[in-house]
Amino acid sequence: MNFVTVEFLLFLLAVFVVYWHLNRKHQNLFLVLASYFFYANWDWRFLGLIVVSTAVDFISGPRIYRADSSLRKRAWLILSLTVNLGILGYFKYFNFFAESFVSLANSLGWYVSHSTANIILPVGISFYTFQTLSYSIDIYRGELKPTKSLVEFAAFVAFFPQLVAGPIVRAKEFLFQLEKDRVLTGKDLDAGLTRFLLGFFKKAFIADTLAIHVVDPVFSDPGQFNQGTLWLALLAWGFQVYADFSGYSNMAIGSARILGFRIPENFLFPHLAVNFSDIWRRWHQTMTRFFRDYVYIALGGNRGGLAKTIRNLTATTVLSGLWHGASWNFVAFGISHGVAIGIYQIWRHYKRKHGWGWKRHPIPGALIGWLLTHAAWCVPLVVFRASDLPTSWSYMVWLFGKTGETLPALPVFVWIALASVVVDHIAGWLLERDPELPEKIPVFAKGVTFAAMIIFLYTAVPRAVNPFIYFQF
């Protein structure tokens, strides 16, 4: 049930009407049923996996909390980790590791055969698995008390607005909201509908327009295009990924808001970043926080000097790359980020030590930092999109010297889509300096703007509905 379809809009409207006619306990139960229906609409066969993860962690949580020894506490945590990561590993990584082992064995002359299993990846499994893990780990760390209500815990795990593609919501950010009465306010309704409309615009117009007219044609056969076209497609691909995923996050946040819930932000205008650490602070924030708190810090964080910090950062980025998909492309993507952030950490270390920098000329320094950051961000996106590593490498080589054809004349909507991302980030730059800016805009101006957006979407949105990019993760 894609968020940009009439089917989902009718579903959300029905949930909204029924939900606000129920008391809190019935609201929570209704959310569970609605969320299970929503997920089953994708593929009912995998609904049982959510039920298993929910049951295991609901049982494990109180036992971790009340365990009378560190050994028992650790044993229950290991059970939770084993079940959840075992399910994730089997469905997402079994074929990848099996095929990689066979390739390695054959290269050594062992001649191992392997029949690839027809394993379908359950939609959203990476997201809801991380959510349930946060519950058990935070209880183990003493940062959260277990819930007594199975219904509330099930509603947290399966909450449909962010179930299949995030944001990754932790138990301590959401469970307490289920435990108290919710009241629909005009402010929540206005904020929720605004976020949903903006997200719809990003996905249905910006992302899909760029995909259909630029990204898909070029990446399907990059060898026939010239250098300038390849750079344009790469820029469009970076904008498409941002508009697609941040659009989904906006719609998820907006849908949750009209039901009385606050879920965390997932994007902070990443194209404003002026260094590579800043990119990670702004892009897919909930995933970054998860890997920071449960992987990077667990490995030692920035304790132990520069070399160990870079090692821990690289290990974290590689794992986050592999989280995106079972492919050597994503491993390479993670390594490239590890290298980039490692270089930035080395620069930062010696800048502090020797007083390097642009203290007298901060604007040129920020501009150079911005250009280098986005070059290091955009070029590795090729492996994120290309079918395999050889194709990725060829594309990156062609970026710096290739003659071939250009795309046919692009429709004006493509240029409007590219400009929309720029406008979005200009608005983000203004919001960072004045967070109260939206409240200063007159209601009439908002109404006219949104009405114009709806009319524009009706005429400009491509008729084909593309799936969200992050649904594959």
Note whether 62 and 43 are within 8 A (CB). Answer: no
Give the separation between CA 53 and CA 424, rounded to whole angstroms: 38
Strands (E), 7-65: none
Taking the CA atoms of 456, 462, 465 and 470 in sequence, report the sign of the dihedral they define.
negative
Note whether 217 and 130 are within 8 A (CB). Answer: no
Note whether 54 and 154 are within 8 A (CB). Answer: yes
Active-site annotation holds for 354: no
Show the CA angle centred on residue 167, arms to residues 469 and 177, nearest 5°.
Answer: 150
Show the CA angle centred on residue 68, arms to residues 64 and 71, nearest 5°.
Answer: 70
φ and ψ of 225, to 5 deg: -105, 160
Give the separation between CA 16 and CA 306, rounded to whole angstroms: 51
3-state secondary structure of 319: helix
Give the separation between CA 161 and CA 252, rounded to whole angstroms: 5
What H or E segment, with its residue span, contains residue 290? helix 285-291
Give the separation between CA 303 and CA 252, rounded to whole angstroms: 36
How many CB atoms are closer than 10 A to CB 390?
9
What Å distances lie between residue 153 and 29, 146, 150, 254, CA to CA?
10, 9, 5, 22
Chain position carrying tokens 């794992």: 319
Chain position carrying tokens 């592999």: 322
The neighbouring-strand residues paired with 405 are 225
Give the separation between CA 358 and CA 363, rounded to whole angstroms: 8
Half-sphere exposure of 411 (CA within 13 A, CB side): 11
Please give the DSSP secondary-structure letter assigned to residue 44.
G
Q: Annotated catalytic residue: which of 213, 271, 284, 324?
A: 324
Give the residue among 352, 344, 363 at the shortest CA–CA distance from 279: 344
Note whether 134 and 264 are within 8 A (CB). Answer: no
Residues with a catalytic annotation lie at 324
